[in-house]
Amino acid sequence: MKKFSIIFSESARSDIKDILDFIEIVCKSPITAKQYVDGIRKEVNSLSNKAHIYQIATRKSILKYGHNARRVNYKKIAIIYTIHNDIVVIRRVIPGGTISGI
């Protein structure tokens, strides 16, 4: 089985920080914030073994991140990534409901 290295774009890093801050500060739930972000990271790390099993997206709103962009969900969060040889690039980590387009 192919093993992928994972790297985060600056946008993805910022997205995760925004999610953490929102749950921690706005919702006043620091423990939940940490658990939620840990769950996102666990899902991302699982891509090192299975990134290729998810279909290439057909929605324009996802394909703008790359011609081979894919999406995996963690709860209500969409993790958008691309694969380049043996590297997975996490492009965005955003609420799934904010993705629009056909």
Options 3.20.20.70, 3.30.2310.20, 3.50.50.60, 1.20.58.220; CATH for 5-98 is 3.30.2310.20
Which 3-state string (H, E, C) describes the chain? CCCCEEEECHHHHHHHHHHHHHHHHHCCCHHHHHHHHHHHHHHHHHHHHHHHHCCECCCHHHHCCCCCCEEEEECCEEEEEEEECCEEEEEEEEEHHHCCCC
Mean pLDDT of 17-38: 97
Predicted pLDDT of residue 2: 79
The chain-wide mean pLDDT, for the chain, equals 95
pLDDT single digits (tens) 38-81: 999 999 999 999 999 999 999 999 999 999 999 999 999 999 99
